[in-house]
């Protein structure tokens, strides 16, 4: 197998190529929120770094969200287009799961609960929890949109907090809400991810994608869809009846 994985849900885009030996080659953009311009270039660079050619790809994967709505659309659309052109299957990866796996593999989180937090503004986060077990991560509770106070309350009520095995938070939700975390949770029951591991990265998307490919969890290009986890603000207002659609006469 040879998988190209795309990550465009965060501030910086990246692309990775993984083969069935587990070797990962990653190309990252330094341009903030410039995914549309950079995605093809970093994909080509990742392939070049791997020493392989586009024609050798067996799958294309995309981080399908949650995260930046525009970024999600760019990554998913690019993956769908490549899969259609090359006549190969797609793989959809949760950005939150990939973040948890990155922390598990690179952050020394043996046996610990990892909680990725993506800032959704106004005290809201896209979040979930994964338990590290023997180098793998298994979902501990649902990933969805939460208020930051809500997810901290869940961690407390469900007895996930302890001095012996502190919860690890990762993601840009830390940047926005670290003060709330520190004020709410007892000292020593949690840790904040190092900034070098905190954000979305195609390397971990590729690792999740390979696991999915090996288990047969693949999609046609038409089945790969974004996972925004919430409606856009205008869509929500329309749904709530607080925004009227324009009707041309």
**pLDDT level of residue 248 (50, 70, 90 thresholds):** very low
Please state whether the peptide bond connecting residue 66 to the residue before it is cis, i.e. omega within 30 degrees of 0: yes
pLDDT at 171: 98
- CB distance 145 to 125 below 8 Å: yes
Q: What is the mean pLDDT of residues 90-119?
A: 96
Asked if 10 contacts 75 with a C-beta cutoff of 8 angstroms, the reply is no
User: Which among 84, 78, 114, 81 has a CA at the least distance from the CA of 202?
Assistant: 78
CA distances from 114 to 8, 31, 56, 90 (A): 22, 28, 35, 27
Angle between helical axes of 69-86 and 35-50 (0-180°, round to 10): 50
The tokens for 211 are 């696991």
Residue 49 has φ and ψ, to the nearest 5°, of: -65, -35
- What domains appear along the chain, each with residue ranges and CATH number? 2-95+200-238 (3.30.420.40), 108-193 (3.30.420.40)
Tokens in use for 46?
């990742």
Task: Look at the block and give the residue holding tokens 């004020």.
Answer: 183
pTM for the full model? 0.91
- Mean pLDDT over the full length of the chain: 93
127 beta partners: 117, 144
pLDDT higher than threshold 80 for residue 81: yes
- Euclidean distance between the first and the last CA atom of the chain, given in angstroms as a whole number: 55
Residue pLDDT, tens place only, 133-175: 998 999 999 999 999 999 999 999 999 999 999 999 999 999 9
The pLDDT assigned to 241 comes to 54
């Amino acid at each position: 197998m040879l998988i190209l994985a795309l990550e465009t849900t965060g501030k910086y885009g990246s692309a990775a190529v993984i083969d069935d030996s587990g070797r990962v080659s990653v190309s990252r953009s330094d341009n903030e929120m410039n995914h549309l311009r950079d995605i093809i270039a970093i994909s080509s660079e990742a392939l070049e770094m791997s020493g392989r050619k586009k024609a050798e790809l067996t799958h294309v994967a995309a981080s399908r969200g949650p995260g930046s709505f525009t970024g999600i659309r760019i990554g998913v659309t690019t993956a769908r287009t490549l899969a259609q052109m090359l006549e190969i299957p797609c793989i959809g990866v949760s950005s939150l799961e990939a973040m948890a796996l990155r922390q598990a593999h690179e952050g020394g989180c043996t046996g610990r609960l990892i909680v990725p937090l993506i800032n959704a503004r106004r005290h809201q986060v896209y979040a979930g929890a994964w338990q590290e077990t023997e180098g793998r991560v298994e979902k501990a509770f649902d990933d969805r949109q939460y208020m930051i106070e809500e997810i901290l309350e869940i961690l407390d009520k469900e007895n996930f907090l302890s001095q012996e095995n502190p919860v690890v938070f990762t993601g840009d939700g830390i940047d926005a809400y670290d003060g709330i975390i520190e004020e709410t949770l007892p000292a020593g029951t949690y840790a904040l991810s190092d900034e070098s591991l905190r954000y979305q990265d195609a390397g971990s998307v590729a690792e999740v994608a390979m696991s999915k490919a090996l288990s047969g969890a693949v999609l046609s290009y038409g089945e790969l869809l974004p996972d925004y986890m919430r409606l856009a603000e205008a869509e929500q207002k329309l749904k709530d009846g607080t925004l009227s659609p324009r009707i041309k006469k």
